[in-house]
Structure 1
Amino acid sequence: MAFGDKNLEPTEIYLQNDKIDIENLPKFTITELSKYNGKDKPQYYVAIKRLIYDVTSNSDSYKPGKGYNVFVGKDSSRLLGTSSLKLKPNEEGKTPESWDYSDFGDKELKVLNDWVKFFKMRYPIVGVVAIEEDDDGKIDTKD
């Protein structure tokens, strides 16, 4: 794991997250997820690879005006995988969506999967980003 001791024992939160039946989690549309920003709703949610984590317990880092607020209320897979606080245009000059990591190479996927491990150790999984019509419907839970 890139974010700490590789020999860490799984946390209680990690063990609970590992037992979750993803198919039975509440589904949130992108619009619904965007409301979990500490203003519209009191909770702070961050999604990675479609799984939604409740980061409210660390609201000091995620509230408005703080560095990690950019990740709140959305699937931030692209931002986390590219280690960026801002979406950047791709080679075609288009700015991909914050959740789109379909063009990631091995390096970005490793970084993204390290973030999944980091979040899974610290924050409860509370939902799944709903499948859009043009989506393949797959949720990648590998970490």
Structure 2
Amino acid sequence: MAFGDKKKEPTEIYLQNEKINITTLPKITTKELSKYNGVDIPKYYVGIKKIIYDVTSNSNSYKPGKGYNVFVGKDASRLLGTSSLKLKPNDQGQTFESWDYSDFNDKEMKVLNDWVEFFKMRYPIVGIVDDGEIKEEVEESI
């Protein structure tokens, strides 16, 4: 894991997240997720690979005006995998949505998967992003 000691004991949150059956998670649309920004709804949710984490416990980092606020209320997979706070065109000049990581190379996928582990260790999983197209990668995310 890139964001901590690999020998570190799993947190209680991690152990709870590992027990989750994704079929029982609430399905939240992209539009609904955008409301979990601390303003419209007083919680902060961040999606990664279609899995939604409640980062409200660390609101000092995620509230409006703070650096990580850019990740709130959306599936931020592309931003996290590219280690960027802004969406940028890829090598072919294409700009993708914040959730789209379909063109990631191995290095970017490793970074993204490291972020999944980071979030899974610290924040509870509260739902899945579902705009009517649940994909197989959701199962692989947990």
TM-score, L = length of structure 1: 0.94
Contact 1:131-1:137 at 8 Å conserved across structures: no
* Residues 50 and 129 in structure 1, CA contact (< 8 A), matched pair in contact too: yes
Which whole-Å CA distance do the structure 1 matches of 2:139 and 2:105 have between them? 15
Unaligned runs of 5+ in 1: none
User: What is the number of equivalent residue pairs in this alignment?
Assistant: 141
What is aligned with 1:113?
113
Q: Distance in 1 between matches of 2:83 and 2:27?
A: 27
Indicate whether 1:54 and 2:36 are aligned.
no
**Structure 2: stretches of 5+ with no match in the other structure:** none
Q: Is the 8 A contact 1:61 1:69 kept in 2?
A: yes
Letter in 1 for 2:124: P
TM-superposed CA distance for 1:110, in Å, is 0.4
Of 131, 135, 138, which aligns to 1:137? 135
Whether the 8 Å CA contact 2:49–2:141 is kept in 1: the answer is no
Q: Secondary structure at the match of 1:46?
A: strand
Contact 2:22–2:139 at 8 Å: present in 1 too?
A: no
What letter is aligned with 2:9?
E
Counterpart contact for 1:47–1:53, Cα < 8 Å: yes
Q: Does the alignment pair 1:64 with 2:78? A: no
